[in-house]
Amino acid sequence: MKDKIILALDLTNVIEALELADELRGGLSHIKIGHQLYAQGGMAFVKKIMQMGHNVFLDLKLHDIPNTVRMAVEELSSHGLWALSIHSSGGKKMLEEARKATERAGVSTKLLAISVLTSFSQEVWQEVNPNSTIQEALLARARVVTEAGIHGMVCSPLDLPIVMPILQNKVTTVIPGVRLIAGGAAKDDQERAATPERAISSGADYIVVGRPILEAQDRIAAIEEIAADMAKGKKHTEL
């Protein structure tokens, strides 16, 4: 199950990030790089992580007019990324242009569409989306992601039961907001979180984990514990 864990490399500087990526060679195969480290190190930093043998998920959440996103996807995917995030709220046309960009380039980069950020509670959602619920948005975005032929969708583990009937195992599910202890999200900015076991049993293909690994005294042991919890969830799906 370790191959289904994506480490969110949310560290403050590229030197520390490179040291950790080197430490985890062979113990973890997928790493997610976000805005801060990309802003510091750019594609040169990303390539160093890839040269260590890690599959890189570049999480930039691209969201703009279709042509602008197309050009960004063409450039970023040309470097051999495992995955690149775009935002489903950009609409079907934007998503289609992003997909076509990878097809024209002949690359294997997976496009992962963000659904609704895991930091949103229903109350906060209503501040900027007063006429809809999170559930309504999830359903609409799952449909457009499927129709646009996007490879994967990123959503909260608690949102999987809502979107899975639409995705129908045709779209890879990548799940952030995973904590080893149920309810652990109350300590941080993840409002809609769940354990690795629950995420996998609900239909997650990959889980994204940051702080439970980064803040662990023994990071390898933390990865093993997460993988073991995921295996319990896998057993539930096989029953």
Question: Tens of pLDDT along 85-114?
Answer: 999 999 999 999 999 999 998 999 999 999
Confidence label for 118 from pLDDT (cuts 50, 70 and 90):
confident
Average pLDDT, the chain: 92
Beta carbons of 177 and 8 less than 8 angstroms apart: no
Out of 32, 61, 187, 234, the active site residue is 61
Give me the pLDDT at residue 9, please: 97
Give me the pLDDT at residue 186, please: 41
pTM score over 0.75: yes
Q: Reply yes or no on whether 92 is catalytic.
A: no
What the chain holds in terms of domains, given with CATH numbers, is 2-238 (3.20.20.70)
Neighbours of 51 (CB within 10 A): 9
Q: Region 66-83: what's the mean pLDDT?
A: 97
Find all residues with CB under 8 Å of 205, minimum gap 6, and list them.
4, 152, 172, 173, 174
Find all residues with CB under 8 Å of 213, minimum gap 6, and list them.
7, 219, 222, 223, 226
Beta carbons of 233 and 205 less than 8 angstroms apart: no
Neighbours of 66 (CB within 10 A): 17
Beta carbons of 87 and 148 less than 8 angstroms apart: no
Confidence label for 235 from pLDDT (cuts 50, 70 and 90):
confident
DSSP H or E segment with residue 154: strand 152-154
| pLDDT tens-place string over residues 22-62 | 999 988 999 999 999 999 999 999 999 999 999 999 999 99
| pLDDT tens-place string over residues 166-179 | 998 889 999 998 88
CA separation (Å) from 235 to 44, 159, 175, 204?
Answer: 40, 21, 18, 13
> How far apart are alpha carbons 75 and 53 in whole angstroms?
21
Name which of 91-95, 184-188, 190-194 the model is least confident about: 184-188
